[in-house]
Amino acid sequence: MRVLITGGSGFIGSAVIRHIIGSHSAHVLNADKLTYAAMPEALEDTVNSDLYAFSRSDICDAPELDRLFAEFEPEAVMHLAAESHVDRSIDGPADFMQTNFIGTYTLLEAALRYWSGLSQTRRRSFRFHHVSTDEVYGSLELDDPAFTEQTPYNPRSPYAASKAGSDHLVQAWGETYGLPVLVSNCSNNFGPWQFPEKLIPVTIINAREGEPLPVYGEGRNVRDWLFVTDHAKALWTVLTQGRIGEVYNIGGNSERQNIDVVRAICELMDVRFPDHAPHNRLITFVTDRPGHDQRYAIDATKIKRELGWEPTVTFEEGLASTLDWYLAHESWWRNIRTKLYDGRRLGLTSGLRA
C-alpha cells in the first residue's frame, strides 16, 4: 500500500508513520511544510527505510500537490497537516484559517483530480482519511453525555472553527463528487515527541526545572486523554477498515481534570527526584484562556463495535512513560526552548507570556 501523509513530521503524524512502517510495511510519502512544531527527529528511525520518502511541501500549493500525486501514485491519503494549538489560534487565527481550511480545500481538489483519473478498480480502493479533533463539538457540562458521531458541531475557538470547517469540506467533497472519504475526531493526545507547548510536556519540563507549573483558572476543565500510539493504531484501522463516508470518534476513556493531570505529574516527579519534593508547591494558577471549553469527552462505542479498536494504554501507564521519555530527551526540548523562546521558561500560551 502507498500512503501519502500530510503533516507527517508532527506529533501525531510521526507516530502514524512509525506505526505504518514498523507494523504494516506500507510505503509512505511524508508531505510536510516543516513549520515551527515539526520534528524530523521523531522519524530518525525511519528515514533510512526503503518504505519512507519525504517532501517539504505546503498543502496550500496546488501544483506541488499535483506533482506529489502524479509521482507517488498513492492508494490512500491521511491528512494530518494542521495548526493545532488553541492559544496560538487566539493570538493569530489567520494561519489556522489558511492551513486548516484553505489547505484542506486545496488538498481535496488535488486528490479529486488524481482520483478522477484512476482506473475504476483503483478508484474503488482509494481512500481519503481526514484526521480531526473533538473540539469541533464544542463544550460539555460535567453531567452531559460524551460526544458521539451525531453530536452537532459547536466550535468555540478559532482553531476548532478551522477544523470544523475542514471537516465539512471533506464530507461535502464525498457527497458532491463521490471522493471516498473518512473522518475521525480524536480526544487530547499525549506521549513522546509532543511539542513542548501543550499541558503535559510544559508541566513535565517546568517541574524538572523547578519552575512554576501554570494551570488555567482553577484547573477544573476536563479532557479525555488518548496515548498517541493508540491513536496511530486507530487511524490505520479507520483507513483500512472504516466504511466510506463515515465518521469515527477516537477517545482514550480517560477523562481527567487538568489540575489532576498536573498533580499526577508532580507525584511522579516526587518519586524520581525526592530531593525536590513536593513538586505540587510549584503549581501556579493563571488567568483563564478566553472561551475555555469546560469539558471534552469521547464516546468511542462506534469504532469499537464496527472496527474492533479500543485503547490499550491506560492514562497512568502512558503518563509515566511519557514523563520518563522527556527526562531522557532533555537535550531535545532544551534546544527547542533556546531556539524558539530564547531560553525563557515555557508557559501555556506560546512560551512568551508565562
Q: Which of 32, 134, 224, 230 is catalytic?
A: 134
pLDDT at 349: 42
pLDDT at 93: 93
CB within 8 Å of 235: residues ≥ 6 apart: 16, 78, 129, 131, 184, 250
Closest CA to 57 of 49, 69, 43, 48: 69
C-alpha cell at 329: 530527551
| Whole-number percent of the chain with pLDDT over 70 | 96
Q: Which of 87, 135, 197, 255 is catalytic?
A: 135
pLDDT digits (tens, 9 = 90+) for 42-78: 999 999 999 999 999 999 999 999 999 999 999 999 9
**304 pLDDT band (50/70/90 cuts)?**
very high
**342 pLDDT band (50/70/90 cuts)?**
low
Q: Cβ distance 187 to 296 under 8 Å?
A: yes
pLDDT digits (tens, 9 = 90+) for 246-278: 999 999 999 999 999 999 999 999 999 999 999
Separation between Cα atoms, residue 202 and residue 210, nearest integer Å:
12
The more confidently predicted of residues 327 and 339 is: 327
Q: So where are the chain's domains?
A: 2-190+225-250
Topology of domain 2-190+225-250 in CATH is Rossmann fold (3.40.50)
C-alpha cell at 159: 482553531
The more confidently predicted of residues 323 and 352 is: 323
Query: Using CB atoms within 10 A of its CB, is residue 310 exposed (0-12), middle (13-18) or buried (19+)?
Result: middle
* Cα end-to-end distance, the chain, whole Å: 45
pTM: 0.94
pLDDT digits (tens, 9 = 90+) for 129-156: 999 999 999 999 999 999 999 999 999 9
Separation between Cα atoms, residue 129 and residue 242, nearest integer Å:
10
pLDDT at 61: 98
Three-state DSSP state, 313: coil
Q: Which of 105, 159, 248, 326 is catalytic?
A: 159
Q: Cβ distance 89 to 164 under 8 Å?
A: no
Instruction: Specify whether 134 is catalytic.
Output: yes
